[in-house]
Chain A
């Protein structure tokens, strides 16, 4: 889904609030949430793709205003309700107030019917897919051409794995793009590498016009 979480390249944000030795946690409840969601993953209540997708399904105003660990909590609670561990009414009774959850999921999809094995140096294009469910292709590479620089072992296909859809595991490719191809005339020159699932890629035979 083209969700609010897909932030790469969005403009208008201010300076990074960087501090040396910055903490990962700011409050005790954040560590509890981090432990609780990872416990649920370990025990097979849901998988990492379902967890990520339930964060992405948060209502955009809630997503942007919530802290990182509130997003984590919202995903955990949403999935516990969707998996039938508790009703929303009961959850809100125990919380003694409203408990905002993520919005409902759309449908997932299985692997692309035509998948190819790529090698380093191959020129590839990110397919111009628009999918309603979970997807791990950032929108900023959609339709863009790059060069394969590495291949990973096969992983579960997120677009299926987040939705309980059957699919084969598939490799991901580290694909090198040029920032000035991704955002012509409005990016700092750099190479941007993205881990891209095989189903998101198609081979480009002709040489591209600029040097990704």
Chain B
């Protein structure tokens, strides 16, 4: 018998939805759909693994930076038209990346890139974006609290350095040209490329 003094409590939903399928099962389901339509997803997954692991790596951007540090004419071309200049070194960008803007750091100016709306980057040049770049925290905060965020990430810029944040909201892509460290005088291009990190080309580290 029901107790009339008790509140009825929340009404149970009429129909419970099924539990969400584990993510691997959802991926397999969509892969099977593409397969049904003759898109050969299995082959493409293998090709794509090669691209993300071996072709679209930060070492590409590092070579671009090292060349810019050692060849002033290349540096000028890179700053004028990044996409054409990286193509000189054999690096391609997807068709929808129609413009690469290279942002030169100086003792007085520090550049940092982000994508507040999603995760856009010049991934064929500086590598696929790291996890933290795509996280909510970086996307929300770096445009508004740039100096604080950089400091939290280990880059404590002098107070007189001007910060320039670049939000990748269209299909133009950006990369930072870091300052060449003073201790690298006389190094070869290969030695220089070895010290250029993805973080430095994003602009959250200095070399």
Contacts and interface: CB of A to CB of B under 8 A. Distances in A.
Contacts of B26: 73, 77, 95, 97, 99
B194 interface: no
Nearest to B119: A68
B172 A80 contact: no
Contacts of B32: 94
Contacts, number: 243
B153 to A, nearest CB: 5
A40 B38 CA distance: 11
Interface size bucket, B side?
A: 35 or more
A43 B144 contact: no
Interface size bucket, A side?
A: 35 or more
B118 interface: yes
Contacts of B127: 24
Contact of B130 (A22, A96, A98): A22
A98 B19 contact: yes
B116 A13 contact: no
Interface in A12-27: 13-26
Contact of B171 (A155, A189, A194): A155
A188 interface: yes
A84 to B, nearest CB: 10
A115 B120 CA distance: 26
B189 interface: no
B45 interface: yes
Interface of A: 5-11, 13-26, 29, 31-36, 38-40, 43, 48, 52, 55, 64, 68, 70, 73, 76-77, 80, 85-86, 91-92, 94-100, 136-138, 140, 150, 152-153, 155, 172, 174, 176, 179, 182-183, 186-197
Given A13-B137, A140-B143, A187-B144, 16 more contacts: A17-B131, A17-B135, A24-B129, A48-B171, A68-B135, A70-B23, A94-B32, A95-B25, A96-B25, A100-B20, A140-B144, A179-B144, A186-B144, A190-B164, A195-B168, A197-B170
